Amino acid sequence: MSESISTYDWRSKVGPTLSPCGGSTSLPFADDPGYDASLDKVISSRLSDQFSELIKSKVSVTVDELDITYVSNNATYPNPEPQCKLTLHRNLCTHVVIGVNETINWNTRICFKWTCTNAPHYAMRVENCWTGSVHNPVYLIDEHGCSLEQTMVRTPNYETHLLQGYSVGWLSVRLVGVQRLKLSCSIRMCHICDKKCKSITPPQNCEDDTENMNAGNIWNNTRRIDNICNPPTLPPITYTRKPKSQRSKAAASVDYAESGLLVDPRRSRFLAPTGHRPRGSSNSVVRAVRSQLVQGTKSFSWHSTAQCVDPSAHFAPPSRWRFGLNLFAFDADKQRGVYFEVTLSSPSHPDSRCSSMLCGVKLLLAVAVILTGSASVTALFPGAQPDEGDYRHLYPLVCLSVHIEDHAHSLPYSMGLIENLRYPKDRLHFTFVAEENVEETTLSLAKTWTNQMTKIYRTATVLEDRVNWREVSLQWARAKSCDYALISSADDFLMSNTIKKLIDLKFVAVSPLLNGPFNGFSNVHGLLDKFYYERTKVGSQQAYYINTPVFIHLKAIDSTYLTFDSNNLRDYAGSEDPIQIFAHSAYSMQIPLFIDNREFYGYLLSSKHYSINHHKKLLGYFLANLVSDSGPMPFPHSTALEPWYPEATTLSFDQIYVVNLKRRPERLQKMDLIMRLLGIEYRVFEAVDGLKLTDEQIASLRFLPGYEDPYYKRPMKAGEIGCFLSHYGVWQDVVRNGYDRVVVFEDDVRFSENSTIQLRKVVEDIMKTRLDWDLIYLGRKKMTPHGDEFYIPGHRYLSTLAYSYWTLGYALSNSGARKLIAAKPLEKLLALDEFLPIMYGQHPNNQWASYFEPRDVKGFATYPVIVTPERYTNDEGYISDTEASSIVNLGNLARENKSQFITNEADVQSKLRATSTMTKTEL
């Protein structure tokens, strides 16, 4: 910051605005009349001292209340009034707010965060920001929302909804005699339906070019804009009641409602196959279908042809439709019931049985007595009791459809969760829906799964070469007469209680929140704010539209009119996006759409946003992290499909070691699965167990004189000795086998997203730049937070290295292994976390470092880190074999002999176990 201040032309500023002394600017300059060079030296010296003191001073900050102005074409303003505030956060925007009485330094990194609430249809712009004092203001952001002092505050970056902005910078302003700076800003708000609003926010043509940062703002979400600014409306509909003589009639005392409309007598709901139900319509408009209880014979059926049901009288004429209706009646006294199945279809429907000579609609009534003796369908018939063990009334019939594309790699895992759903399989109809040109391997796996599951599920099918898979799924569910439809994708990983929990919500249409495992992505991304998908807010939220998975109550009033196909909507001129069409159909019938996050419903790993190869890698990272959290398996893979694993490689290294204690087979089992999911070929190196070291073995070691743990002030623990000897054995093996470069992992690591990709690029950059290296930390704990570290030129992920701990993952060259062995650490043993920083010349204890020569290991670190600990000290399930061991009593041990049990070549070789495949067999 001092460099940027020195470039200011103070005379070009207004008055004393940028004067660090805060006083007048009446001092003469070299080109002013009466300039005295000798006087200038004296003044410059005094100003320099004063300027230096100002830079070192600490100040507090008072944030003024934000002034809000509105841009509007009329006099309407938000009601209630928006609440806008500016908060300051130290270093990162996620950190706590800087308090009124807290002080900041000249170089304190600050996040400026502007937030407005209670204005969902408005957008904001930050402008006219200044700091300093009323008399000496320093302007930071101009009236157009652009930064004036980019060295302190850049032009704010705005969130998608344009109701929150942030910028990270500094408040490097100091005034003589002023201990508290003022910070003031204004907010300009505009309605997103105002055409001017897009040109107002986010700000454009700023010098620091923030357009790219704000590229994903609300103006790209045309769906939301259209729903707010151009809500769909229905044309007025007028019903004309026909005389009774003109209405069509049929046998069994069944009357049809006028104009071809049908009504379910159980729920008094419209059953028109297409079109919309007008608002305010009531049951008085139509006459319900009536059925009389049939008694006598146990089973019978008849057919009757009715006049043409003409839906075009008040609805858009259908092109291809088919509709089924079930009617029930029951006589509790005689324990008999009747079952009516009504099927209507249009002349152009491929399943139509209608004669083209007639008007085209044929009514089939198949009536059968469904019970003799005790009743079994009590939910439908009042007064009846269920059979013992009958659960059908507890579990409504559900149709579950899964859309497949290029999902051969993820299908075994997503279908494993489908099989694990806690819902009776005989109450589930299942189908895969494949559109045109679906990948052949995926289609083959889907057919394999359905062939094996047909006997378990009520039905299991594959629908191939379909267009608009969501509409196909919905119509298939209706044809199966299901109570509910769950329309999902192979990208969805659903938890076991999903169906039961969604039924309990009792919504007509709801989408369960699915979280993405990376980057905060979810199926509500861009639709609801982050507080909802991060579950800071919990509940059911009504939304403009909902993404898959979608759960629909097919027996609810008016759900018949829900559709994903624009051909089923009258006078629809909107987007052809099926999600938008579904939202329009729901809005037309006043059916609210909800998103629920009260339960954890599962994960979403969307294949639409990534290439197929990257999606495979993300699946591996996702499953590997679940293994780290929960152990193998995080959730079951399909019993009908073989689990998918990528081809295993050593990621351009000669060898990859996993150090594991023999008494920790559960850790090796987890690491084996993680490495297979990530496609890493590795070898197991059996660690030295510090708990099993004898007194004679420990006595043969020589410890560093005066060593004690820097924090706990104690000698080494047995676990620390075992850890050092284990890694020492790996170094010996590297030299013995002549490996040029290797990677060493401990058995309790967690891999970050893109870790294998990042590691490959590290090797690529090393080869291109011919970097001379010995040691690269892949994961570490930086012990000097303010230590200087810099990126290495020509490298994308490599930085210099300060004093750091942890050996959970590191890369080692052959020269690095030789240097570490040549330092003879077993003759002056100390903790491995202290030894490595000594060898690359960054340890703060010079006395310890003096025992090791030469200290010429060339050390680096990856940034960001590739691996982290599986669990930290205070996490649930944290276990440390090092910390749990006992402290070695050095007073009773001899220190004369060198270690013999680890340097023996045959002993080291015996600790090198077989490949991961053999390890799996052993386990």
Least confident of 351-360, 872-881, 884-893: 351-360
Q: What is the pLDDT of residues 309-345, one digit of tens each?
A: 333 333 333 333 444 444 444 443 444 444 444 444 4
User: What was the pLDDT predicted at 272?
Assistant: 36
Local confidence band at 291 (pLDDT 50, 70, 90 cut-offs): very low
SS3 2: helix
User: Coil, strand, or helix at residue 238?
Assistant: coil
What's the sign of the alpha-carbon dihedral 582, 586, 587, 589?
A: positive
Helices of type H across 339-497: 411-419, 440-453, 469-479
DSSP code for 273: S
Residues 6+ away with beta carbon under 8 Å from 356: 347
Give pLDDT, residue 92: 80
Q: How confident is the model at residue 517 (pLDDT cuts 50, 70, 90)?
A: confident
- Contact status, residue 538 vs residue 621, Cβ threshold 8 Å: no
Per-residue confidence (pLDDT) for residue 51, from 0 to 100: 63
**Token pair in block for residue 238:** 């007028």
| The pLDDT of residue 175 | 81
pLDDT, position 322: 41
Which among 565, 562, 545, 588 has a CA at the least distance from the CA of 281? 588
Burial class (CB in 10 A: 0-12, 13-18, 19+), 846: exposed
Q: What is the pLDDT of residues 142-195, one digit of tens each?
A: 999 999 888 788 899 888 778 889 898 888 888 888 888 999 999 999 888 888
Report how far Cα 456 is from the mean position of its chain's Cα atoms.
Answer: 33
Out of 71-75, 746-750, 916-920, least confident range: 916-920
- Decide if 619 contacts 627 (C-beta within 8 A): no
* Cβ 534 vs Cβ 250: under 8 Å: no
pLDDT, average across residues 462-475: 95
Can you tell me the mean pLDDT for 241-255? 40
Higher local confidence (pLDDT), 205 or 271: 205
How far apart (Å, rounded) are the C-alpha atoms in residues 162 and 160? Answer: 5
| Percent of the chain with pLDDT strictly greater than 90 | 44
Residue 102 reports pLDDT greater than 60: yes
* Cα–Cα separations (whole angstroms), residue 865 to 440, 621, 810, 841: 38, 15, 10, 21
**What pLDDT is recorded for position 535?**
84
32 or 472, which is more confident? 472
Q: How many CB atoms lie within 10 A of CB 529?
A: 19
Mean pLDDT of 722-731: 95
Residue 265 has pLDDT above 60, yes or no: no
The whole-angstrom separation of Cα 535 and Cα 529 is 10
- Higher-pLDDT residue of 197 and 564 is 564
**Location of structure tokens 């708990």:** 691
- Determine how β-strand 781-782 pairs with β-strand 804-805: antiparallel
CA distance 66 to 61: 15
Q: Which two tokens stand for residue 240?
A: 């004309």
Using alpha carbons, select from 841, 858, 860, 857 the residue that is nearest to residue 849: 841
Taking 90 as the threshold, does the pLDDT of residue 1 lie above it?
A: no
The closest of 153, 135, 181, 185 to 14, measured between CA atoms, is 135
Q: What is the signed CA dihedral for 670, 740, 755, 612, rounded to 10 degrees? A: -100
Q: What is the 3-state secondary structure (H, E, C) of 281-349?
A: CCHHHCCCCCCCCCCCCCECCEEECCCCCCHHHCCCCCCCCEEEEEEEEEECCCCEEEEEEEEEECCCC
Record the tokens describing residue 136, joined without a space.
Answer: 């000496």
Quick one: which H or E segment has residue 511? strand 509-512
Confidence of residue 733 (pLDDT cuts 50, 70, 90): very high
Q: What residues form DSSP beta bridges with 429? A: 399, 459
- How far out from the chain centre does Cα 895 lie? 55
Residues 6+ apart with CB under 8 A from 661: 667, 686, 687, 689, 747, 881
> What are the helix (H) ranges across 738-824?
755-769, 814-822
**Predicted pLDDT at 83:** 86
Question: Please, what is the average pLDDT of the chain?
Answer: 75
Alpha carbon distance 743, 779 (integer Å): 12
801 pLDDT higher than 80: yes
CB-CB contact of 549 with 578 (8 Å):
no
**The pLDDT of residue 882:** 59
pLDDT at residue 42 in the model: 43
Residue 358 clears pLDDT 60, i.e. is over it: no
User: C-alpha distances in angstroms, 77 versus 73, 81, 224, 297, 434?
Assistant: 10, 8, 20, 71, 49
Query: And the tokens for 133?
Result: 């004092």
Q: Which two tokens stand for residue 656?
A: 């990859």
pLDDT band at 483 (very low <50, low <70, confident <90, very high): very high
d(CA 841, CA 836): 9
Identify the helix (H) or strand (E) that includes residue 744.
Answer: strand 741-746
Q: Could you tell me the pLDDT band of residue 884, with boundaries at 50, 70 and 90?
A: low
pLDDT score of 413: 94
Confidence of residue 76 (pLDDT cuts 50, 70, 90): low
Question: 385 or 156: whose pLDDT is higher?
Answer: 156
In angstroms, rounded to a whole number, what is the distance separating the alpha carbons of residues 898 and 879?
A: 31
Stated length of the chain? 923
Do 476 and 512 form a contact (C-beta atoms < 8 A)? no
For 23-37, 107-121, 506-520, which range has the lowest pLDDT when averaged over its residues?
23-37
Residue 556 has pLDDT above 50, yes or no: yes
**pLDDT band at 859; cut points 50, 70, 90:** very high
Contacts of 569 (CB under 8 A, 6+ apart): 276, 316, 563, 581, 584, 585, 588
Q: Look up tokens 């300059």; give the residue.
A: 29
Q: Are 686 and 658 in contact (CB under 8 A)?
A: no
Per-residue pLDDT tens for 592-602?
A: 999 999 999 99
- Is the confidence at residue 251, as pLDDT, over 70? no
Residue 440: C-alpha distances to residues 430, 443, 477, 579 (Å):
20, 5, 25, 27
Q: What percent of the chain has pLDDT over 70?
A: 69
Q: Say how far apart CA 189 and CA 124 lie, in whole Å.
A: 5
* Residue 232: per-residue pLDDT: 60
pLDDT at 260: 32
For tokens 């039905």, name the residue: 459
Q: In the structure encoding, which two tokens stand for residue 497, read together?
A: 């209680």
End-to-end Cα distance, the chain: 59
Q: Kindly write down the DSSP assignment for every residue of 651-713, as one continuous string.
A: TTSSEEEEEE-TT-HHHHHHHHHHHHHHTB--EEEEPP-GGG--HHHHHTS-BPTT---TTT-
**Confidence at 643, pLDDT banded by 50, 70, 90:** very high
pLDDT at 206: 86
| Rounded CA separation 170/1 (Å) | 9
CB atoms within 10 A of CB 437: 8
Say what the pLDDT of residue 306 is.
32
Instruction: Please tell me what DSSP assigns to residue 620.
Output: H
Q: Which one has a higher pLDDT value, 380 or 915?
A: 380
Which has the higher per-residue pLDDT, 640 or 228?
Answer: 640
* pLDDT for res 210: 53
pLDDT band per the 50, 70, 90 thresholds, residue 280: very low
Residue at token pair 């982290």: 868
Measured CA to CA, the distance from residue 271 to residue 343 in angstroms comes to 11
Query: How many C-beta atoms surround the C-beta of residue 819 within 10 A?
Result: 20
Longest Cα–Cα distance in the chain? 126
> Which pLDDT score, from 0 to 100, does residue 881 have?
58
CA distance 247 to 286: 12
Domains contained in the chain, CATH given: 56-228 (2.60.40), 398-624 (3.90.550.10), 655-869 (3.90.550)
Q: What share of the chain is helix, strand, coil (3-state, %, to 5)?
A: 25, 25, 50
Q: Which residues have CB under 8 Å from 248's CB, separation 6+?
A: 256, 306, 307, 308, 309
869: preceding bond cis by omega (within 30 degrees): no
Q: Pinpoint the alpha helices (H) of 15-108.
A: 37-56
pLDDT at 170: 86
Question: Of 124, 83, 104, which Cα lies nearest the Cα of 169?
Answer: 104
* Interatomic CA distance for residues 438 and 463, integer angstroms: 12
- Omega before residue 20 within 30° of 0, cis: no
